[in-house]
Structure 1
Amino acid sequence: MLLRYLVSSFLQQQGQTVVRDFVSQQLAGQNSEEIPPEDIPKPDVVVLFALGVESAGFKESLESAATVKMEKRTVTVGKLGERAVGVVETGVGRKAAEAAVRDVIEIIGPKWIVSAGFAGGLVSDLKRGHVVMASCVSDIEGNEVTIPLNLTPEQIEATQGLASGKLLTVDRIIGTVEEKRELGEKHTAVAVDMETLAIAQACHEKQTKVISVRIISDTVDQPLPKDLEKLMSQKTTSGMLGAAAATIFNRPGSIKDMWNLNAMANKASDKLAGFLGGVLPQLDLAVRDEDES
């Protein structure tokens, strides 16, 4: 969560877009003009990311990728082996994620929805770069959706860097070590994000299969620096720019911190892409049917 907000809110809103994102957008724009939507196969798997910084690595891994407008949603469609896969960026938070997944189910009607992206660790065992496949997802009010993974504890333990457990969905940034630990202990959750419960609830309602694959971007012991927390609390772009200017003036080293975080975000995106590339061809084996649970 920390990396996502630092990169998207600070770098992207100030026009310092990552080169790979710029190139991807230009190519996507060209493809969407050249290829009519009716010539693009409708994917049976759609992967939902909140932001482009999370989806970039996976989109680059798709073969013959093209970005098209399907009614009111922009969808990148490509091949992963023999499977047609779609990618949609939902925007941040539950409201945006719910709207996006409902549109995707209505417009495309995929067999599978994958909630993917970055997450914050809530337990000490999870390190940056570890992958979490949620066995259930909940919020602090106790709303919960179970995802019946077809994975044994032995299989998870044998896969280095893989964890499974409860994913907690919240509505704001969790910035302090104390609050992360408290949430993890109180809700017996291993990681935290801001979208997956809304996605899982909509899929459950629409009887669409869902799985969550999240990569840890910030650990439970990694606090959000106070000056950056203040930066991201601004409600407007002008307010953010003013706070950013003050941050840089008071601590010039913050510029380097931002770019270091950007590099780590790109690395996390690429690693997540690699894991998704292994999981998606085996989705039908990864999750049990509800009546088998």
Structure 2
Amino acid sequence: MAFLLVTFAVKEESGPFQNLTGSRPDLRVLVTGIGQRNAEASIRQALEGHSPRFVLTCGFAGGLNPKLAAGTVIFSADENSTLATCLLAAGAKPAKFHCAARVAATAQEKRGLRQSTGADVVEMESGVIRAICRERKIRSSTVRVISDAANEDLPLDFNRLMDGGQNLRYGKLALALAKSPGKIGALFKLRRQTRAAAEKLAQVLVNVLARFPP
């Protein structure tokens, strides 16, 4: 059976979607890890000997366009794609994505990316996943949700809390919070915001995939 492949960087992004989809037989979810290197290794392994009907590369994105609020679902699809029509019908907005090598942690950094790239949002995996899909002539779309708007600083610089493989080190996180306990409230606020964003993304994805029955 030809399958649909939906990728996310981390389980916090994929969880609400998996809760809503259950055990659809033609659907596979791939959690790639954070960053371009992890995404490339994971998607190449997943596609080895397989050719899905299409690939959706999903998750959070940082806002660069100040007109886009947190919780907005945005997408970029192949030209003349049925997926694009379905995504528009589901309420997603077309956007230009920039695939970055690091987390854009401050509003100032986001402004710089907006000026240098003209992109509406920034992410860290979809660009390389889409490139590999194009190599293999597999249809694909990027579908993400804005976790933090253009004017928002993240409570911590998450780049400093990762190891060389771009895995979040919880020991570093605990130490950072011990040094700056005033940021705990902002971190919990971000957690609530990202959870709501992941649920919004899941609803859009389920709506879209309903138009592609097994």
Q: TM-score, normalised by structure 1?
A: 0.63
2:205 is matched with 276
2:102 aligned residue: 172
- Tell me the residue number matched to 2:146: 216
Q: Which one of 148, 152, 157 corresponds to residue 79 of structure 2? A: 148
More strand by share: 1
1:54 is paired with a residue whose SS is helix
Match of residue 45, structure 2, among 73, 86, 103: 103
Give, in whole Å, the separation in 1 of the partners of 2:28 and 2:2. Answer: 6
Q: What secondary structure sits across from 1:241 in the alignment?
A: helix
Counterpart position of 1:266 = 195
- 2:186 maps to which of 247, 252, 257: 257
Q: Which runs of 5+ in 1 are unaligned?
A: 1-41, 66-77, 136-146, 285-293
Change (3 A) 1:205 1:184: same
The AA in structure 2 aligned to 1:116 is C
Deviating beyond 6 angstroms after TM superposition, the runs of 4 or more aligned structure 1 residues are: none
CA shift for structure 1 position 270: 1.1
Partner of 1:49: 8
CA distance, structure 1, for counterparts of residue 110 and residue 17 of structure 2? 28
Structure 1 residues 126-166: Cα deviation after superposition (integer angstroms, max 9, x where no partner): 1010011125xxxxxxxxxxx215458xx95x875x32121
- Does the C-alpha gap of structure 1 residues 253 and 273 become closer, same or farther in structure 2, counting only changes over 3 Å? same
Residues 97-145 of structure 1: CA distance to partner in whole angstroms, max 9, x if unpaired? 111111222244211111000000111111010011125xxxxxxxxxx
Structure with higher Rg: it is 1
Would you say 1:123 and 2:65 are equivalent positions? yes
Q: 1:177 to 1:242 in 2, by over 3 A?
A: closer
1:210 maps to amino acid: S
State the Cα distance separating 1:47 from its structure 2 match: 0.1
Report the alpha carbon displacement of residue 175 of structure 1 after superposing the two structures with TM: 1.7
Q: Relative to 1, partners in 2 of residues 1:101 and 1:159: Cα closer, same or farther, differing over 3 Å? A: closer
Quick one: structure 1 residues 159 and 124, their matched pair in 2 at CA, closer, same or farther if it must change by over 3 Å?
farther
Q: What code does the residue aligned with 2:61 have? A: A
In the other structure, the counterpart of 2:54 is 112
Give the match for residue 233 of structure 1. 160
Where structure 2 has 5 or more consecutive residues not aligned to the other structure, the ranges are none
Change (3 A) 1:149 1:212: farther
- Counterpart CA distance in 2 for 1:165 and 1:246 is 34
Q: Deviations over 1:17-40 (max 9, x none)?
A: xxxxxxxxxxxxxxxxxxxxxxxx
Answer yes or no: is the 8 Å Cα contact 2:177–2:184 preserved in 1. no
Sequence identity (%) = 30
- 2: distance between equivalents of 1:281 and 1:159? 11
Please give the alpha-carbon distance, in whole angstroms, between the structure 1 residues aligned to 2:140 and 2:183: 39
Greater RCO, CA 8 A, separation 6+: 2
Whether contact under 8 Å (2:9, 2:32) holds in the other structure is: yes
CA separation of 1:103/1:183 partners in 2, compared to 1, >3 Å: closer, same or farther? same
RMSD over equivalenced CA pairs, Å? 2.6
Structure-2 change in CA distance of 1:90 and 1:125 (3 Å): same
Contact 2:100–2:122, Cα closer than 8 Å, also in 1: yes
Distance change (3 Å), C-alpha of 1:173 and 1:246 = closer
